[in-house]
Structure 1
Amino acid sequence: MAKKKSSSGQILTRLFNQNGVKMILGVVAAGSFAFAFGQEKIQQFVASATPSNSACLDQFYRDVPPYLMKDSLNKHSYPLCFNGFNVMYSGVSKTPLWVAEALTPERLSQKIPREDSFHEEPRVAQEHRALLSDYRASGYDRGHMAPNADMPTKDAQFDSFSLANMVPQAPKNNQQVWRELEEAVRALATRQKQDVYIVSGPVFAAKKLKTIGRGVIVPTATYKAVYLPKTGAIGAYYAPNDNSLQVKIVSVCYLEEQLGINLFPQLTEEQKRNTYNLPLKATAVKAAKPIDYSHWDAESQCAEEVDNSALQAMQKQFKSAGGTSSHAQNQDAASGLDASAQDAIVKQLIEALLQYILQLLK
């Protein structure tokens, strides 16, 4: 018994019977084009919602991430790439350990109206994840480490409201001191027309640390390390996490000793001991006036140099495991455009094209 012909076979037979060799060639060409065109467009749509691997490394000076020098800091750590900034998140503290971003005059020329969208980070395991309920009625703000006002796109703005970018911050520290420091750093980029590389995060310096919610650790201070390659100016802000409105400027080496993190592995110890008088407010930044030198820190213990192979391994983590933002994940979940879905859509398009041509031949 002859096998039953498939629907595709029936279509081709009918086309041959009607002497439609040219039409068949047209169908094949059209189908191939539709498949290639459709698949390319779908892939572009998905790719446009996610930060590229290379874009992740752009947030680091010379593409090199900060490096955790203490083994204890690596426990339950998550390297996360977002649109416009990167995070090394700790499942122990349920906060970032550091947040890195690169500011340029071009990036800050994009003004995005603020739209609050605080959310939990889906790439972090449930048991390590900070929750919105952790901060509720805690007495602490959800303090951005990479600020919303630094973000050049809607996707980046959304990502900045991930709790992976937050620490419990005392209200006056967050709303006044931290805000003024963020404005001052942006002014360095916009008024002096130079790139600024920043690493921000929490300091956990007390023997007994306070927690909120299900174990989100409250930092004793917040820091913001700043490097300006154009002039070589460098230094760090150090602000106690209370309502005292205090802030001091320290060397990067001072911070590295406190944190156990090599904040700028690309820089030499000599560079990181230099300390400049970083502006405390945006009004202190003048377009034609470089930042004054302050002092050389001869006392602090700088982080040890990191082997190139270890740095390359860290780069790979951000180029692979940390390459999808929470916004992109939400979009992918909503659209369902995984690989199998893409294939199904393209096949439906081709089948519809064949059916249309068949109708024309009837």
Structure 2
Amino acid sequence: MKNLLRFLAFCALSQLPQADVGDFSPCLNVFYQLWPPKGLNGTPICQNYDNNYRFASLYSRERRAPWFSAYTFSTPSGKRPRCLWKYEPQLANSKASGEMVDFPMPPKKVDQNVIDSQAVPEDYTNSSYTRGHLNPNMHHSAKYDRLATFTLTNVVPQKQGSNDGPWAALEMLINKTLDQYCVGKAYVVTGIMPYRVGAERWLKDEHRVAIPEYMWSAYCCPKYSQNLPESLRKTFPTFAAIGRNDPNSTEEIVPVDWTKKRNVGYDVRRMPLTDLEAYLRERYGSNVTVFNQQCSE
């Protein structure tokens, strides 16, 4: 009888709706070995679109921007989709739906609770910053996976010179490399490095949406081709990079190539995963681990 009661209790609990905000449990499959990055504090979001979990983000309510987004890579197909930007209802109301929602079209207004809890399109309008995807649509093949990336809980203020320049080139390089040489599932985590404490910068100086000083990205591909060209042998099973989002930052983390004719100061530096984690540890003041056991099976 006791075993029966335990079984019924388990079934009842398993049927309870799982939160999309505040818990990574429903979307652990987007992380290598079901293991989210450690060492960063924020609000977990399982990004739900069309009633499916597409990727995950660790969100900062104070910054109204994500610390990172994590996803599994798939070879893209087709052009960039056109769609409305979306928001996360549960950031505004914990009892709301866990599925992302399109921002209303003018003249309809955005609910004040949404404005208070997260970034809205008006924050970026006339700000001199673009909406920089952490999880880019070009790293997915399925239509709804690509559409799901267009949520403001997945973007940060990114300078045009970075977004359309060296950072875009990095995303294309990752795309090509994983497509050609990763023979198993590839896990990607892309995030930001904030300015140092006391030097934070905000969109339009309104203390609403924080601007990152650097962007970073790392992938984990535990199963890959044994016929790697010499130039790529150090990029498997892991690869990492840091990109400048401020052309006036010092060159200690990412040196500047002053010989370039375009996008000077938005350089990207490629590096081993251990080097990236060392920079994150120094900036965050905590031991940041992106992939369990350095992506080693």
TM-score, normalised with respect to structure 2: 0.63
Higher relative contact order (CA 8 A, sep 6+): 1
CA contact (8 A) 2:202 2:211 kept: yes
- Are residues 235 and 254 of structure 1, via their aligned partners in 2, closer, same or farther at CA, if it must alter by over 3 Å? farther
Equivalents in 2 of 1:129, 1:122: separation in Å?
10
1:211 is aligned, of 202, 207, 223, to 202
Q: When the two structures are aligned, how many residues end up with a matched partner?
A: 210
SS of match in other structure, 1:219: strand
Compute the RMSD of aligned alpha carbons.
Answer: 2.5
SS of the counterpart of 2:86?
coil
Residue pairs, 1:97-246, within 5 angstroms: 97-103=67-73, 107-108=74-75, 110-111=77-78, 113-125=80-92, 126=114, 127-194=116-183, 195-206=185-196, 207-213=198-204, 214=206, 215-230=208-223, 232-243=236-247, 244-246=265-267
Secondary structure (helix, strand or coil) at the match of 1:155 reads helix
The whole-number CA distance in structure 2 between the counterparts of 1:192 and 1:55 is 29
Answering whether residue 278 of structure 2 is matched by residue 254 of structure 1, we say yes
Preserved contact between residue 199 and residue 263 of structure 1 (Cα < 8 Å): no
Fraction of identical pairs, as percent = 23
- What residue ranges of structure 1 are gaps of 5+ in the alignment? 1-52, 272-362
With 226-235 and 193-202 compared, the bigger mean Cα shift is at: 226-235
Q: Does 1:84 align with 2:63?
A: no
- Report if the CA contact (8 A) 2:75-2:139 is conserved: yes
CA contact (8 A) 1:169 1:241 kept: yes
Query: What is the CA distance between 1:224 and its match in structure 2?
Result: 0.5
Contact 2:182–2:221 (8 Å) recurs in 1: no
Contact (CA 8 Å) 2:26, 2:46: kept in 1 or not?
A: no
Code of the aligned partner of 1:236: A
CA positional deviation for 1:84? 3.2
Offset of residue 121 of structure 1: 2.7
Change (3 A) 1:109 1:223: closer
> Which residue of 57, 65, 81 corresponds with 1:95?
65
Q: Distance in 1 between matches of 2:55 and 2:76?
A: 17
Deviates more, 1:78-87 or 1:170-179: 78-87
State the secondary structure of the residue aligned to 1:187.
Answer: helix
Per-residue Cα deviation, 1:51-89 (whole angstroms, up to 9, x for no partner): xx98722211111111244xxx34xx2433344321111
Offset of residue 113 of structure 1: 4.4
The structure in which a higher percent of residues are helix is 1
**Segments ≥4 residues shifted beyond 4 Å:** none
Change (3 A) 1:162 1:56: same
Larger Rg: 1
For residues 145 and 180 of structure 2, the distance between their equivalents in structure 1, rounded to whole angstroms, comes to 23
| 1:81 partner letter | Q
Deviation at 1:237, TM superposition (A): 0.8
**Residues 133 and 109 of structure 1: is their aligned pair in 2 closer, same or farther, counting only changes over 3 Å?**
closer
**1:94 Cα shift?**
0.8
Distance in 1 of aligned mates of 2:133 and 2:294: 29
Query: Structure 1 pair 123/152, CA: closer, same or farther in 2 (3 Å)?
Result: farther
Distance 1:63 1:111, change over 3 A: farther
**Structure 2 unaligned blocks of 5 or more:** 1-23, 93-113, 225-235, 248-264
Is contact 2:195–2:201 with CA below 8 Å preserved after alignment? no
Matches within 5 A, 1:291-306: none
- Alignment partners' CA distance in 2, 1:198 and 1:182: 11
